[in-house]
């Protein structure tokens, strides 16, 4: 099985960059240089026009597409493609001055000043009309242009607006959802602190006291922004029904539900700026990024996606800007491909001379020197991508699923008392995504490819499903999972599982609720949240069915579990709950449900997942055991597999890859079934799919 290429006219992996010729219109020498160097860098796609609204519409009734015509024509003549952006993320000053309503109102109540970017209102009819007009003109002019590969709507669309227009939309959204204030008052538990509403307009989204409102405001905002993208897409489609449309996401950004965005787009794109500094924690950072990449692929059900932005060297906004060490760039780019990207692009092609991002990394630096280290590393990536045409369109064969549900994240963050919401950024604020990324790492570290689903997703395609901190249960979720386990599925969940319903109201009768206690064979009603320095030891139970023999310290959270028939794999070895279960396994129908009641360190969790995978015979990307910090990922069309070996450690590693593999990138392949990886090295192996 193979999906069509992201750009139907390009059957190779995409290699591209954001390019801002609108910043250099006075410098034809620079534009000539750009065109001379694109092929030398091996860039085939250029993302243009992202912040060019003022350049194409310098005044309300003045349009200037001449420069863009020339750029598009030159791209086509040079055999390059444009990912043509709509410019809605940055608006011209004249528009903001003439119509202050287009400016976003922030939560503090202040309206944006002229300038900046991504600070517009999502509702303003004036803004929507102006955006539709510029989009329509772009589509009318370029829909049949030979350089046009894809539309890129907006840029990192995000952030809520609290203006009167958006508040009115919010009130309409609530009316449609609840029908009556009586229903809303009931489901939001408004007797709390005398919140009962008698008029829709009283409902102020800035009030953080009601946990139901906290969820609904994020649901509304996600749908409203997705609706705005849909509005832009409709303007393009009038002239251009066939060219694919994308928009760039920001990984697992906390306040937007990308499951709600995905249906309006043809292609998912992602921006990723990992701070890949070599050192002890490189592999932790790497697996967190891998999580986001698998999420990008999963948002449209295992479809290849595009890395729209990454930095070829430094970033200008994240702490001390250390240089990317030699070799790390190829490792990072092939990591994207390993998890389903069909191309990698950079922010940015050329460093600008002015503006806030003039020291951000770029393919071409201020020295304009194509023999510079960064430029050469980009060339190396280009050479590697050129050897991987067979990868284009291939999905990831994942036997392991993971439930990633933004509503659980929001609900946990609203739960004051889950290790405190204030001050600073305490554990509770990152508890959900932290649990998801920790448990994802259990699969990543064992070379088990993962696909993600939303809580309402279908577990049927998976052998093993990980549902970390599945705090919020919407109707049907628990029943669906129970039936799947009864039928033979292997389910893993953790602390904070099954505690609230879709309205963020606590489930009564012990957790996990809605019948999941029977599935896991455990129940809990007390949770011990540990201050940072506290540890509670866990001791393996002799002769447990996983053969787990590790003694380990739990941090941050320990659920006090009572067994309802589950086997105890490990019990707490300290505190007043010493001797009670901490990790359990439970046969349920034909399946097994594991409950991991405490937060465990990364290495031990990888070990625990290895034992679970072995016990249930899960197929790993390679037969051998992976050293900590190395992963193996697979893409397959069903007949041929590409196995990506990625070494996020600073030492060389020898990996047992089994028979029948050749080196897809050229150079020495495996010898005696073993492949040698350099420190921070990467290899791509090709083999025939095994039955």
Question: Which residue number, 153 or 315, has a Cβ lying nearer to ligand GAL?
Answer: 315
Considering the complex, what minimum distance in angstroms separates the CB of residue 155 from ligand GAL? 5
Question: Which residue number, 211 or 309, has a Cβ lying nearer to ligand GAL?
Answer: 309
CA distances to 4, 203, 346 from 691, in Å: 24, 58, 38
By CB under 6 A, tell whether 276 contacts ligand GAL. Answer: no
Question: Which residue number, 248 or 446, has a Cβ lying nearer to ligand GAL?
Answer: 248
Question: Of 156, 399, 567, 641, which is the active-site residue?
Answer: 156
Considering the complex, what minimum distance in angstroms separates the CB of residue 43 from ligand GAL? 17
Considering the complex, what minimum distance in angstroms separates the CB of residue 445 from ligand GAL? 29
List the one residue from 43, 245, 264, 315 that touches ligand GAL (CB under 6 A). 315
> What secondary structure letter does DSSP report for 301?
T
Bridge pairing between strands 567-572 and 591-596: unpaired
Bridge pairing between strands 45-48 and 14-18: parallel
Question: Which residue number, 89 or 384, has a Cβ lying nearer to ligand GAL?
Answer: 89
Question: Which residue number, 261 or 484, has a Cβ lying nearer to ligand GAL?
Answer: 261
Question: Which residue number, 47 or 494, has a Cβ lying nearer to ligand GAL?
Answer: 47
Annotate each residue in 116-155 with x if it binds ligand GAL (CB under 6 A) or - if it does not, as one string: ---------------------------------------x
List the one residue from 33, 266, 357, 656 that touches ligand GAL (CB under 6 A). 357
By CB under 6 A, tell whether 332 contacts ligand GAL. Answer: no
Please say whether the beta carbons of 152 and 236 come within 8 A. Answer: no
110 Cβ neighbours under 8 A, 6+ residues apart: none
Question: Of 169, 232, 309, 399, which is the active-site residue?
Answer: 309
By CB under 6 A, tell whether 347 contacts ligand GAL. Answer: yes
Backbone angles phi, psi at 458, to 5 degrees: -90, 120
Instruction: Give the number of residues in contact with ligand GAL, rule: CB under 6 A.
Output: 9
Considering the complex, what minimum distance in angstroms separates the CB of residue 313 from ligand GAL? 11
Dihedral class, residue 498 (left if φ above 0, else alpha if ψ from -120 to 50, else beta): left
Question: Which residue number, 229 or 546, has a Cβ lying nearer to ligand GAL?
Answer: 229
465 upstream amide cis, omega within 30 of 0: no
Considering the complex, what minimum distance in angstroms separates the CB of residue 407 from ligand GAL? 25
Backbone angles phi, psi at 572, to 5 degrees: -70, 140
List the one residue from 273, 410, 595, 648 that touches ligand GAL (CB under 6 A). 273
Please say whether the beta carbons of 516 and 530 come within 8 A. Answer: no
Please say whether the beta carbons of 581 and 522 come within 8 A. Answer: yes
- Show the tokens assigned to 462: 């998976």
Question: Which residue number, 352 or 426, has a Cβ lying nearer to ligand GAL?
Answer: 352
Could you identify the residue written with the tokens 């990698």? 344
Angle between helices 602-615 and 427-444 (to 10 degrees): 50
Please count the CA atoms within 13 angstroms of the CA of 21 that sit on its side-chain side: 25
Please return the burial class of 441, using the count of CB atoms within 10 Å of its CB with bins 0-12, 13-18 and 19+.
buried
Catalytic status, residue 232: no
Considering the complex, what minimum distance in angstroms separates the CB of residue 645 from ligand GAL? 29
Identify residues 512-571 at the interface with ligand GAL (CB under 6 A): none
Give the integer Cα–Cα distance in Å for 436 and 362: 32
Considering the complex, what minimum distance in angstroms separates the CB of residue 312 from ligand GAL? 11
Q: Which helix (H) or strand (E) holds 186?
A: helix 181-187
Q: If DSSP states are collapsed to H, E and C, what string results for 429-488?
A: HHHHHHHHHHHHHHHHCCCCCEEEECCCCCCCCCCEEEECCCCEECCCHHHHHHHHHHCC
Q: Which long-range contacts (CB under 8 A, 24 or more apart) does 566-570 make?
A: 566/520, 566/521, 566/522, 566/593, 566/595, 567/541, 568/541, 568/544, 569/540, 569/541, 569/544, 569/545, 569/594, 570/538, 570/539, 570/540, 570/541, 570/544
Question: Which residue number, 42 or 274, has a Cβ lying nearer to ligand GAL?
Answer: 274
Question: Which residue number, 220 or 346, has a Cβ lying nearer to ligand GAL?
Answer: 346
Considering the complex, what minimum distance in angstroms separates the CB of residue 44 from ligand GAL? 20
Task: Report helix, strand or coil for 367.
Answer: coil
116 Cβ neighbours under 8 A, 6+ residues apart: none
List the one residue from 22, 135, 289, 309 that touches ligand GAL (CB under 6 A). 309
Annotate each residue in 150-169 with x if it binds ligand GAL (CB under 6 A) or - if it does not, as one string: -----xx-------------
Give the integer Cα–Cα distance in Å for 662 and 642: 10
Residues counted in the chain: 691
List alpha helices for 487-620, DSSP H. 516-520, 602-615
Identify residues 216-245 at the interface with ligand GAL (CB under 6 A): none
Considering the complex, what minimum distance in angstroms separates the CB of residue 420 from ligand GAL? 30
By CB under 6 A, tell whether 271 contacts ligand GAL. Answer: yes
Question: Which residue number, 245 or 482, has a Cβ lying nearer to ligand GAL?
Answer: 245
CA distances to 314, 399, 443, 464, 659 from 616, in Å: 43, 12, 13, 9, 23
Q: What is the DSSP string of 343-355?
A: EEEES-SB--SSS
Considering the complex, what minimum distance in angstroms separates the CB of residue 258 from ligand GAL? 15
Catalytic status, residue 156: yes
Considering the complex, what minimum distance in angstroms separates the CB of residue 361 from ligand GAL? 8
Task: Report helix, strand or coil for 174.
Answer: helix
Considering the complex, what minimum distance in angstroms separates the CB of residue 495 from ligand GAL? 33
- Show the tokens assigned to 532: 């940072």
Question: Which residue number, 358 or 535, has a Cβ lying nearer to ligand GAL?
Answer: 358
632 upstream amide cis, omega within 30 of 0: no
List the one residue from 15, 145, 360, 680 that touches ligand GAL (CB under 6 A). 360
Interface ranges with ligand GAL (CB under 6 A) = 155-156, 271, 273, 309, 315, 347, 357, 360
Catalytic residues: 156, 309
């Amino acid at each position: 099985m193979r999906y069509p290429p992201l750009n139907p006219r390009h059957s190779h992996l995409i290699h591209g960059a954001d390019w801002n010729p609108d910043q250099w219109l006075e410098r034809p020498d620079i534009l000539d240089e750009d065109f001379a160097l694109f092929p030398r860098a091996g860039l085939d796609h250029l993302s243009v026009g992202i912040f060019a609204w003022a350049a194409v519409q310098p005044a309300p009734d003045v349009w200037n597409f001449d420069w863009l015509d020339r750029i598009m024509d030159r791209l086509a003549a040079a055999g390059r493609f444009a990912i043509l952006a709509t410019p809605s993320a940055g608006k011209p000053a004249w528009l903001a001055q003439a119509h202050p309503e287009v400016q976003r109102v922030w939560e503090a109540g202040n309206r944006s000043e002229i300038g900046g970017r991504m600070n517009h209102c999502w509702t303003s009819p004036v803004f929507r009309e102006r955006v539709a007009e510029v989009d329509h003109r772009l589509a009318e002019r370029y829909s049949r242009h030979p350089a046009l590969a894809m539309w890129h709507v907006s840029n990192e669309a995000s952030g809520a607006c609290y203006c009167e227009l958006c508040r009115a939309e919010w009130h309409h959204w609530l009316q449609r959802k609840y029908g009556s204030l009586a229903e809303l008052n009931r489901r939001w538990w408004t007797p709390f602190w005398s919140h009962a509403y008698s008029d829709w307009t009283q409902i102020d989204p800035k009030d953080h006291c009601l946990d139901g409102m906290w969820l609904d405001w994020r649901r509304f905002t996600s749908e409203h922004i997705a609706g705005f993208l849909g509005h832009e897409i409709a303007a393009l489609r009038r002239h251009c029904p066939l060219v694919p449309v994308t928009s760039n996401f920001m990984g697992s950004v906390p306040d937007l539900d990308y499951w709600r965005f995905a249906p309006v787009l043809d292609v998912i794109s992602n921006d990723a700026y990992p701070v890949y500094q070599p050192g002890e924690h490189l592999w932790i950072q790497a697996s967190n990024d891998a999580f986001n990449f698998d999420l990008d692929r999963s948002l449209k059900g295992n479809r290849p996606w595009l890395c729209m932005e990454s930095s070829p060297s430094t970033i200008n906004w994240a702490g001390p800007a250390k240089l990317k060490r030699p070799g790390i760039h190829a490792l990072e780019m092939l990591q994207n491909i390993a998890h389903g990207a069909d191309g990698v692009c950079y922010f940015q092609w050329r460093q600008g001379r002015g503006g806030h991002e003039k020291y951000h990394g770029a393919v071409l630096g201020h020295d304009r020197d194509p023999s510079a280290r960064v430029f050469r590393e980009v060339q190396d990536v280009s050479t590697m991508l050129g050897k991987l045409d067979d990868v284009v369109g291939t999905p990831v064969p994942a036997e392991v699923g993971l439930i990633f549900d933004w509503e659980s994240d929001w609900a946990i963050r609203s739960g004051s008392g889950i290790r405190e919401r204030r001050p600073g950024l305490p554990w509770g604020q990152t508890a959900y995504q932290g649990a998801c990324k920790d448990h994802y790492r259990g699969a990543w570290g064992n070379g088990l490819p993962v696909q993600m689903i939303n809580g309402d997703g279908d577990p049927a395609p998976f052998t093993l499903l990980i549902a970390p901190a599945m705090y919020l249960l919407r109707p049907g979720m628990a029943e669906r999972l129970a039936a799947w386990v009864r039928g033979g599925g292997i389910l893993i969940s953790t602390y904070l599982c099954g505690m609230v319903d879709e309205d963020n109201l606590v489930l009564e009768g012990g957790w996990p609720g809605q019948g999941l206690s029977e599935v896991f064979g455990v129940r809990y009603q007390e949770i011990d949240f540990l201050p940072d320095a506290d540890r509670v030891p866990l001791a393996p139970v002799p002769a447990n069915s996983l053969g787990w023999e590790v003694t380990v310290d739990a941090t941050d959270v320990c659920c006090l579990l009572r067994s309802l028939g589950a086997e105890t794999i490990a019990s707490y070895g300290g505190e007043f709950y010493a001797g009670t279960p901490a990790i359990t396994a439970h046969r349920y129908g034909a399946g097994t449900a594991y409950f991991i009641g405490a937060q465990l360190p990364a290495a031990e969790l990888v070990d625990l997942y290895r034992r679970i995978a072995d016990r249930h015979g899960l197929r790993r990307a390679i037969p051998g055991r992976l050293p900590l910090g190395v992963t193996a990922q697979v893409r397959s069309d069903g007949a041929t597999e590409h196995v990506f070996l990625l070494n996020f450690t600073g030492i060389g590693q020898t990996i047992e890859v089994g028979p029948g593999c050749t080196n897809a990138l050229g150079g020495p392949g495996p010898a005696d079934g073993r492949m040698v990886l350099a420190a921070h090295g990467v290899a791509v192996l090709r083999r025939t799919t095994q039955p």
